[in-house]
Amino acid sequence: MASDPNLLVRHYRRFLRFARYLSVRCTVLEGENTKPGTLAGITRCVNAGGLEILLPEALPVKSVVSLQVFEGAPLRGRVVSVGKALTTVLGPRFPHGVAFEEPVEPSLVRRWVSHPKRRAHQRAEIQFPVEYTQSGTTLRATCLNLCQGGMFIATERPLPPDTQVSLRFTLPDSPQPLAVRGRVAWVSGDDKDPDVIVGMGVQYLNLEPSAAAAIGALVDRLTAEALKEASP
């Protein structure tokens, strides 16, 4: 396909769009008054002709970029629109419409659409403080691992399974705390087995899509870093 921006915009708009929050890395290849570099972003919509992505910086329209959606191959495209900054759990983010130079195969779009379900159990080890409240009592504990579906909380006072709790925590490098309802899915550790960490696995009940995307992006980054450290 020719790289004429007008043609790219028409191709971008003619495909059916799907609202999906996926981690994406955007590398600037060419752009007016823009230095080459890579930005971590989150998609809002995907289709065979392009993506709508949230980035921490506003790129000039017509910038040529390379996009990598989670573990996929890089896709070359061009910025065709940029919106005003939006407030997200990761801080201000600018929405960008990016049209691919060549439409992708429908099978790839189907993988994007179904990806969050497949990733639901991908966890990353990370520690940060978390508060949990039940029946008016708030306790402080520590998250030891995290995924888009829930977290494991190390606490000497785990609650019984099926107990509903209110969680409050702030993701590392994020300016805004999250308040989420959860359900205790399972409990681990007791006096008979001192080698097992005492705590509880909590499943989220009302996680907003943008918050799920932020957690997914963090888990993706931590997983990639762990694999890199494990490589010889």
Q: Identity (one letter) of the amino acid at 230?
A: A
Residues of the chain with pLDDT under 50: 1-2, 116-120, 193, 232
Q: Is 42:23 a contact under the CB 8 Å cutoff? A: yes
Nearest-angstrom CA–CA distance, 212 and 123: 13
CA distance 87 to 70: 23
The pLDDT of residue 116: 47
CB 62 within 8 A of CB 9: no
Sign of CA dihedral 159, 180, 92, 8: positive
pLDDT of residue 1: 39
Domains and CATH numbers, the chain: 5-118 (2.40.10.220), 124-230 (2.40.10.220)
User: Which of the 8 DSSP states describes residue 77?
Assistant: E
β-bridge partners, 98? 51, 79
Q: Which of 96, 100, 211, 228 is nearest to 151 (CA)?
A: 211
What pLDDT is recorded for position 127?
A: 92
- Which helix (H) or strand (E) covers residue 220, if one does? helix 209-230
pLDDT in tens, 58-91: 999 999 999 998 767 899 999 999 999 987 656 6
- Per-residue pLDDT, 10: 60
18 CB-near residues (< 8 Å, 6+ apart): 45, 46, 47, 109, 112, 113
pTM exceeds 0.75 for this model:
no
C-alpha to C-alpha distance for 121 and 50, rounded to whole angstroms: 28
pLDDT of residue 190: 57
- Who contacts 153 (Cβ-Cβ below 8 Å, separation ≥6)? 130, 132, 141, 142, 143, 144, 199, 200, 201, 202
pLDDT for 11 = 56
195 CB-contact burial (10 Å; exposed 0-12 / middle 13-18 / buried 19+) = exposed
Predicted local distance difference test score (pLDDT) of residue 109: 85
- Three-state DSSP state, 70: coil
